[in-house]
A = this chain, B = another copy of it.
């Protein structure tokens, strides 16, 4: 019954990669805490780089500086 929310910047993650994250997190919770995959919910939020800040700066600007 775990609920996992993964927030990443919207920078081209493919459907297959998102599928890998979902499968990987579900397997991890089953292995470590014996949680039932059938009721493990995983939600991925992809956030525009204007809307994500780190070190006080929008990722959009950091990417322009090669960060």
Give the B-binding residues of A (Cβ under 8 A).
Answer: 1-9, 13, 15, 17-29, 32-33, 35, 37-47, 50-61
> Given that A5-B5, A43-B7, A44-B51 are contacting pairs, would A25 and B28 also be in contact in the complex, using a CB cutoff of 8 Å?
yes
Q: How many copies of this kind of chain does the complex include?
A: 6
Q: A8-B35, A38-B55, A41-B52 are in contact. List 9 more A-B contacts (CB 8 A).
A: A5-B5, A6-B29, A21-B32, A21-B33, A22-B53, A24-B28, A39-B39, A42-B53, A43-B53
Contact B32 A20, beta carbon cutoff 8 Å: yes
3 closest A-B pairs by CB = A22-B53, A26-B56, A42-B53
Contact A8 B2, beta carbon cutoff 8 Å: yes
